[in-house]
A = this chain, B = another copy of it.
């Protein structure tokens, strides 16, 4: 899992994501309908999270519930993630693997990258556990600068 370089072959990302989604839906007996697939494709247009209404516009003739229902489906099956800070959605590169909801958000290029780091999760569980708190879901959203944008800033 790496930060997507600025000019990587993004069609490959999309193709892989769609193939993985097909496979995951087959495995789960879930129906990846036309609308759902189209929304997933739109989410994968970029590594930057996209909002529901931007998807709606890109879809063309559709009402909000159409998009939100597709998003709900994709979220439920782990094919996309929601970035709480941004009220926006980003594709999941590895559906099927347990996802921790850990993201690095570049404030320059907008790209979101998944971390899924066990040490982070363990550190949270430990700290919570010391207070008697049991964690059932974890959201980590770290804002900053990705390698490419950092280079660009001369830092």
**Residues of A bordering B, CB below 8 Å:** 1-3, 84-85, 102, 104, 106-107, 113, 115, 117, 119-120, 122-124, 126-128, 131-147, 150
Number of copies of this chain that the complex holds: 2
When distances are taken between beta carbons in the complex, the residues of chain B under 8 Å from A104 are 128, 131, 133, 135
What chain B residues lie within 8 Å of A107 (beta carbons)?
Answer: 136
Most buried by B among A3, A117, A134: A134
* Shortest beta-carbon contacts, A-B, top 4: A132-B147, A117-B127, A84-B84, A137-B143
Q: How far is A85 from B136 in the complex, measured between Cα atoms in Å?
A: 14
A137 to chain B, nearest CB (A): 4
In the bound assembly, the distance between CA atoms of A102 and B107 in angstroms comes to 20
- Chain A interface helix/strand/loop/mixed: mixed
- A84-B84, A123-B117, A128-B115 are contacts. A144–B134 as well, Cβ < 8 Å? yes
